[in-house]
Amino acid sequence: MTAQLNPRGDVAVLVPAAGAGVRLGPGAPKALRLLGGEPLLVHAVRRIAAAPSVHTVVVAAPAADVEAVRAMLAPVAPVTVVPGGAERQASVAAALAAVPAGPDIVLVHDAARALTPPELVESVAAAVRAGHDAVIPVLPVVDTVKEVDAGERVLGTVDRAALRAVQTPQGFRRSVLTAAHEAAGDALTDDAGLVEKLGVPVDCVPGSELALKITRPFDLALAEHLLASGA
Ligand code: C5P
């Protein structure tokens, strides 16, 4: 059944899904790899659309696959599909440019985090609504982390208690994300990094283990298991 988005919602979700996914091994672009028989992107969009505050979803697809992605997502939810760029940042900028007037909160969410629960979308959006300009979901780092040199010799041990692993969706007041992308120089791996460069404070909310990023074959196997267990 096609999900309905909320016409009175205040949240637009941008989904960069134009990456090749080289680390998953050869095959289709990562967002189109199958999990439980459906593309990762379908899982991700279905969960985003189930979040009650979501007004708009814009997907940045591989340029060659825009029509196929539109057809694939039409039965899932009413989404806008635009061609992505060569870098993740360019894909996010293309999706941001397609957000209609209205939503004041913009979330950026990787298609690769296909099992992210709708509750995490809502909690990030709620923190922005409550007055934070930029919000990221995080988990504590469980491993000990070392800094090494080019020869793999340990330079030192980082204080784990002060580290966080960062997930998506990352949430922003719309004007802040727009300003960050206009000012963007070097490509960064996340949008909060662009906002930090503007000097805007970025705040954390608890992340979710289900929001794992499906990057390597092991992650896909884990996600298959989680999906089969009801995630
Ligand atoms: O490559 P990485 O795993 O960091 O990609 C994170 C997300 O950014 C993925 O959902 C991927 O599809 C997306 N991406 C994109 N456009 C690119 C590169 C990556 O939309 N040119």
Residue having the nearest C-alpha atom to atom 21 of ligand 1: 87
Query: Distance from the CA of 219 to the center of ligand 1, in angstroms?
Result: 16
Q: What is the CATH number of the domain that holds 34?
A: 3.90.550.10
Mind listing the pLDDT tens digit for each residue in 177-194? Answer: 999 998 877 677 789 999
34: three-class secondary structure by DSSP:
strand
Residue 123 lies in a domain: yes
In a domain, 17, yes or no: yes
Which residues, 6 or more positions from 1, have their beta carbon under 8 angstroms from its beta carbon? none
**Percent over 70 (pLDDT), the chain:** 98
Question: For residue 88, how far is its CA from the centre of ligand 1 (angstroms)?
Answer: 5
What confidence score (pLDDT) does residue 34 get? Answer: 94
Phi/psi region, residue 26 (left: phi>0; alpha: psi -120 to 50; beta: rest), is beta
Q: How far is CA 226 from the centre of its chain?
A: 19
Q: How far is the CA of 190 from the centre of ligand 1 (A)?
A: 10
Number of structural domains the chain divides into: 1
Domain of residue 47 covers 11-225
What is the pLDDT of the chain when averaged over all its residues?
94
DSSP 144: -
Residue 16 beta carbon below 6 angstroms from any ligand 1 atom: yes
The pick from 30, 48, 69, 92 for probing ligand 1's pocket by mutation, whose C-beta has the most ligand atoms within 8 angstroms, reads 30
pLDDT at 24: 73
The pLDDT tens digits of the residues spanning 24-56 come to 777 778 889 999 999 999 999 999 999 999 999
Contact between 111 and 39 under an 8 Å Cβ cutoff? The reply is no
Neighbours of 22 (CB within 10 A): 10
- Give a yes or no: residue 144 inside a domain: yes
- Top pLDDT among 30 and 15 is at 15
- Cα(84)–Cα(61) distance, integer angstroms: 5
Asked whether residue 61 carries a pLDDT value surpassing 90, the answer given is yes
Tokens describing residue 143: 């491993």
Is 173 part of any domain?
yes
Q: Is residue 6 part of a domain?
A: no
The protein residue with its alpha carbon nearest to ligand 1, atom 4, reads 189
| Ligand 1 midpoint to CA 110 (Å) | 7
Asked if residue 192 belongs to a domain, the reply is yes
pLDDT at 20: 78
Query: What tens digit of pLDDT does each residue of 147-163 get?
Result: 999 999 999 999 999 99
Average pLDDT of the residues in 82-93: 94
* Domain contains 5: no
- On whether the CB atoms of residues 126 and 51 are closer than 8 A, the answer is no
Residue 118, pLDDT score = 98
pLDDT at 92 over 90: yes
pLDDT at 186: 67
Per-residue pLDDT, averaged over 76-100, amounts to 95
The pLDDT score that the predictor gives to residue 68 is 94
Within a domain: 3: no
pLDDT at 211: 98
Record the pTM.
0.94
Residue 15's beta-bridge partner residues?
59
Q: Give pLDDT, residue 228.
A: 96
123, containing H or E segment: helix 118-129
